[in-house]
Amino acid sequence: MTEIQTTRPLRADARRNHEKLVAAARDAFAEQGTSASLEAVAETAGVGIGTLYRHFPNRQALLEAVYMEEVESMARGTRELADRDPWDAVEEWSQRYIGFAATKHALMEAMLEAGPDSDALVGCRTMLRDSGNELIARAKSAGAIRPDAEFMDVARMVGQIALMPNADAESKERMLRIVLDGLRAA
């Protein structure tokens, strides 16, 4: 017999608290790193520490929630580019990904330390890869990019540009142009 699990949707107030906690944690982690005080996160969200722990039993759960929300936003953004010119969509995605990778690196590192094969990380990788594969497949079919281009190669190159230490925005933009020129179909 198969067991069916059902989870009740959160009450409206609980959903709002969850959203406020994730938003406060996202800001705190961006400003102070992943070791930001959970008490300060709860205070910024306007809830008590007990409410934070009811939603997120530990720091790792909160890190995962913030990271997953950001990955979901990146994946949605990729799908929103579907009606754009395929090359323009690849360029726009690359710009967005640089910002994403630069600001989410510390979160991803903290999650990797806790469990590189966690369900959350695997789900995030899958979501990002699937949306990126659609983007690249569309650009390939339009003849906009090299036929041997693979999404994960593009993501790795753009991600490395984002994480370059001591590189200013202008240098990163120049390097991105070089990568994109190499990606464009001849």
What DSSP string describes 123-141? HHHHHHHHHHHHHHHHHHH
Provide CATH code, domain 60-183.
1.10.357.10
Supply 50's token pair.
């007990």
Domain boundaries, the chain: 9-57, 60-183
Q: Is 0.75 surpassed by the pTM of this model?
A: yes
Q: What's the CATH number of domain 9-57, 3.30.70.270, 3.40.5.90, 1.10.10.60, 1.10.3720.10? A: 1.10.10.60
Distance CA 153, CA 158 (A): 9
Q: CB neighbours of 45 closer than 8 A, spacing ≥ 6? A: 17, 20, 21, 23, 24, 25, 52
Which sign does the torsion angle of CA 21, 27, 33, 38 carry? negative
Tell me the H-state helices in the chain. 12-32, 38-45, 49-55, 59-80, 86-114, 119-141, 151-162, 169-183
Mean pLDDT of 17-25: 94
Q: Which residues pair with 184 in a beta bridge?
A: 145
Q: What is the pLDDT of residues 58-99, one digit of tens each?
A: 998 999 899 899 899 999 998 899 999 999 999 999 999 988
**Would you place residue 3 in the very low, low, confident or very high pLDDT band (cuts 50, 70, 90)?**
very low
Query: What's at 184, amino acid-wise?
Result: R
Count of residues in the chain:
186
**pLDDT in the model for residue 7:** 59
Q: What percent of the chain has pLDDT over 70?
A: 93
Q: Which residues pair with 145 in a beta bridge?
A: 184
Position 107 pLDDT exceeds 90: no
**pLDDT in the model for residue 8:** 63
Position 4 pLDDT exceeds 70: no
**Would you place residue 121 in the very low, low, confident or very high pLDDT band (cuts 50, 70, 90)?**
confident
Position 6 pLDDT exceeds 70: no
